[in-house]
Chain A
Amino acid sequence: MSGFTLFKKDISIALFSVIILILIGFFVEHPWPKDFLISIFSFGLLAMSLNMLIGFAGMVSFGHAAFFALGGYAFGLLLQSESFLTNFGALSIIVAFFVSIFITGIYSAVIGAICVRLNEIYFAFLTLAFQMFLYSVIVSWVSLTGGDQGLMGGIARPVFLGIDLSNSLHRYTFCSVIFVICILLLRILNKSNFGYSLRLIRDNQERAEFLGIRVFRVKLICFIIASMVASVGGIIMTLFTSGAYPEWAFWTQSGEAIFMIMLGGISIFLGPLVGTVLLRLINDVVQMYSSHTELVTGIIIMIVVLGLRKGLVEYLLEKTGILKK
């Protein structure tokens, strides 16, 4: 099979998914499915982009949610700024969207340049430290970020190209398109030459170097792209909640993303997304019956991790014989 048809297949699947998602938006009256799906888009991008680091490249980051939070805060702050809104008018949302991703990209380049030189536990803890640094900044810079209250007062959503993001259907459609584009991007990267360079590094960094791979550079690019995709997740959350909250930058948020990956499966491309759906569902269902959500979620994760010793998707695919081990 030639390479182009491989990408063509992924692009068609993406188009198909967008259509399905949009149809759901149009035909489902009840607000719950849409709200639920938007939270999946947001946290799904966090988990999927984290798996680009963990699953593709073998870099276990404990501080990935920092970039999710940064994207969300940057987006919210820009749209709360009077001068920004007067300058860009109807284009404000689009400009804020790209500027927030860009800011996250720059920030992650600096953090990444320091962190990706390290391996394994050192990398994990340094990313965690930088995440907690960002958290402290958010919590203590009350005049800018609202501190532990979060970014209050709502954000402006000027209409652009006929899209009104304060309308729930428009917002949902907008988010689903962005979401699918990001997933498609990750998919293409996964199957590209770059994706295979990441596999080489994950499997055997020393050997990759002896094949002439620029290990530092490849890891840094991966770190930056993953961070930028995570920031899109944060932006979607900010659009949805009309605010931004310091918990997004707290280490438990990164931990939750790791749980999502473990639940779904690290080695299957869409595994983390399935994990996201599972974790959100468990959360929502448990919340209806008990206030001890974390306890129940923790037990379920332990059952999956200790019982199956792999993600649910991996387990099912192996059971049905699709994935051979």
Chain B
Amino acid sequence: MITDAMTLGEKFINSIGLTILGMAIVFVVLIILSYALDLLRIIGTDKKKPTSSEEVEQPTNSASAAEVPQEDDGEIIAVITAAIASLSGSSIENFIVKSIKPVPQKNNIWSITGRTERMLNRL
């Protein structure tokens, strides 16, 4: 490997060899992991339950947009509902989440600006 007895040239050659070996091993280990993860995807994916027509029972007095559960996404519905409640300052009793659709983000430049600023502040 690398000893004090070597000339600078020998050290240089050996350290390049070690670099190639090192990067190769790091890559091999992570490539193996990467393919193992593909395998994981096959064995580990939860069996999707058929689309549940779980009606979200909620009182009247609608105010905001949001949601028809295409899949069983109770958690996401709850989070979005809570976010609306928190942003609008109203209680969740006061509105019904009817549908949740992804909106193309280009539309609302103000909210994007707001988010960008928040990200920048966190840095």
Partners in one complex: no
Interface residues in chain A, defined as those with a beta carbon under 8 Å from any beta carbon in chain B = none
